[in-house]
Amino acid sequence: MRVSRSCRGGLNSDQVTRLLPEFTSLLPGALRCHEHTVNNKSPLAKLSLLIGMPFVFSLPIMARTTAAETGCGNSNTAVFDGTTPLHYFKAAGDSGSKLDFYLQNPPACLTRPRGNCKPSTYISSGDIVAVGKTCDAWAFVQHIGEKNVNMGWVKAAQLVALTTTPQAPLVEERGRLVRQFTFNLTKGSGLPVCEAYLQRLNITEYRNPPFCGRPENGEVPGFTILNRVSLNAKDVSALFPNIFNFWFPPRAAEGDSILALRSGSDDISSEVGRTIDVWRYEPPVDIDNDLKPDNIIVWSGYGVTEAASPCGFLSPRYGRYRQRQLPIILNTDNKTVDADRTEAFLKSPVPLTALAMKFKSATGAKSRFKAIGRSVGIFKYRGLYYLDAFSEPSANYAGERLKNPQSSNILSVLLRRNGRTAQVCEYSLGGDDYSMLDDGE
């Protein structure tokens, strides 16, 4: 069978469907024809399965449209927030070659009285872009650079397909399928790390709600997967008294149950994997970005949260229970907490609220200080380490929206350098699952 490498005026849908078994053994050009004429469902995922390797394409693969069709050259229909699968490509060409960016679709802008058909900027060979849509021989892409985020039209023939992110998990709600969790970027629009992390947040499959922790995910270019090494029950039990005493300093009068936790005489090993998760990083992370690795563990749950309840547990009164998750720096003995260094990066610039200052729980325990968030994680993007932190129900990172339960669904991204921690991005988690309890810990 001989198949033309050009899709224009080629096979129709019925012909291609009949010839599909033979198409899988042909050149990429034939596969491009097949994709262009059969359907437009998850095209890159389908082509990746068929080919099993990167390929260069020369015709549109994400939508069967032409410039003459309504909306083909309209970039407003393209989204890059991860709510739909993202298709990543690399700019082809020799080292040092450039690929022009156009603000408007070039064929379409020629028909407009005031069309801007000149290149606005360019990308270099090897740069990675996400394709939002295609129109004839042009692709509308997003390029997340070192300092800027640019969007525009480029020649599709000069792109090499890399990967396609999966469809984010859907759940049934009121008889229809909806996304399980959706984040929106509220501060930091246009900043590379903020736009990239938005994509990562929205494509990640969460075993538990995001406020219980954000899993590692390397599907969005630029992120480094950090290797989490879980501590076993014996090691967690040995650390527990030091962690508990650090976060909940002793008070004048305490009950026997609290004293048992402080001394380590209360066996908490059965809580490991249920209400306690602890891990370290191998290799170690550099939370200060000072080129010196830090001896950090991340403690999630009982020990920095007073109640021994699983994260995500549904309370009829207070919503889903939100455990505390905190990175903690250990001394070189791997047993005791480096209190000064931990407090230096973990303490919020906002003081404890009046509500928290007056709070007294059934056991009388109160936290050492107000942390930058209730659930704090670490990720690495383009060589820098960042913190992400879900807010307390009483306030966001900047101390705004006090006592508003919706603030508990605010996620901040923070960067620590030169001894200072600064907020870089802020996101809001959609939905109406808010924590109604600020326990003042």
Q: Please list the pLDDT of the chain residue by residue as tens digits (441 residues).
A: 333 333 333 334 444 344 334 333 333 333 333 333 333 334 333 333 333 333 333 333 333 334 444 467 677 778 899 988 899 999 998 888 999 999 888 887 777 666 568 888 899 999 999 999 998 899 999 999 999 999 999 999 999 999 988 777 677 766 776 677 899 999 999 999 999 999 999 999 888 889 999 999 999 999 999 999 999 999 999 999 999 999 999 888 888 989 999 999 999 999 999 999 999 999 999 999 999 999 999 999 999 987 788 887 766 655 677 889 999 999 999 999 999 999 999 998 766 554 444 434 434 446 778 889 989 999 999 999 999 999 876 545 555 544 555 678 899 999 999 999 999 999 999 876 655 444 444
Q: Which residue pairs from 387-392 have beta carbons closer than 8 angstroms and sit at least 24 positions apart in sequence?
A: 387/287, 387/327, 387/345, 387/413, 387/414, 387/415, 387/416, 387/421, 388/197, 388/214, 388/412, 388/413, 388/414, 389/414, 390/210, 390/211, 390/322, 392/438
The residues, ordered by sequence, that sit 6+ positions from 52 with a Cβ below 8 Å of its Cβ are none
Distance CA 391, CA 404 (A): 11
Last residue of a domain, one of 130, 146, 164: 164
- Do residues 93 and 160 make contact, with C-beta atoms less than 8 angstroms apart? no
**Judgement on whether residues 142 and 241 belong to the same structural domain of the protein:** no
- 204: number of CA atoms within 13 Å, CB side? 23
**324 located within any domain:** yes
Beta-strand pair 159-164/314-315: unpaired
Task: Decide: pTM greater than 0.85.
Answer: no
**Judgement on whether residues 227 and 146 belong to the same structural domain of the protein:** no
297's torsion region: left (phi>0), alpha (psi -120 to 50) or beta?
beta
**398 located within any domain:** yes
Last residue of a domain, one of 120, 146, 164: 164
- Do residues 118 and 144 make contact, with C-beta atoms less than 8 angstroms apart? no
**313 located within any domain:** yes
**Judgement on whether residues 268 and 370 belong to the same structural domain of the protein:** yes
Domain, as residue range, for 381? 223-429
Cα Rg of the chain, angstroms: 26
**209 located within any domain:** no
**Judgement on whether residues 407 and 304 belong to the same structural domain of the protein:** yes
User: What's residue 221's pLDDT?
Assistant: 94
**Judgement on whether residues 132 and 280 belong to the same structural domain of the protein:** no
**Judgement on whether residues 231 and 150 belong to the same structural domain of the protein:** no
**187 located within any domain:** no
The residues, ordered by sequence, that sit 6+ positions from 268 with a Cβ below 8 Å of its Cβ are 236, 237, 240, 261, 276, 302, 303
**10 located within any domain:** no
**Judgement on whether residues 262 and 409 belong to the same structural domain of the protein:** yes
User: What's residue 306's pLDDT?
Assistant: 78
Last residue of a domain, one of 114, 147, 164: 164
User: What's residue 31's pLDDT?
Assistant: 33
As given in the structure block, the two tokens for residue 432 are 């109406």
- Count up the domains in the chain and report the number: 2
How many C-beta neighbours within 10 Å does residue 351 have? Answer: 12
Burial class (CB in 10 A: 0-12, 13-18, 19+), 350: middle
**214 located within any domain:** no
Identify the CATH number of the domain in which residue 68 sits: 2.30.30
**Judgement on whether residues 129 and 255 belong to the same structural domain of the protein:** no
Closest to 272 (Cα-Cα) out of 310, 329, 325, 221: 310
Closest to 202 (Cα-Cα) out of 212, 190, 214, 193: 214
**Judgement on whether residues 84 and 153 belong to the same structural domain of the protein:** yes
- Do residues 165 and 203 make contact, with C-beta atoms less than 8 angstroms apart? yes
**Judgement on whether residues 148 and 276 belong to the same structural domain of the protein:** no
**351 located within any domain:** yes
**Judgement on whether residues 61 and 150 belong to the same structural domain of the protein:** yes
**Judgement on whether residues 116 and 247 belong to the same structural domain of the protein:** no
As given in the structure block, the two tokens for residue 188 are 């930091």
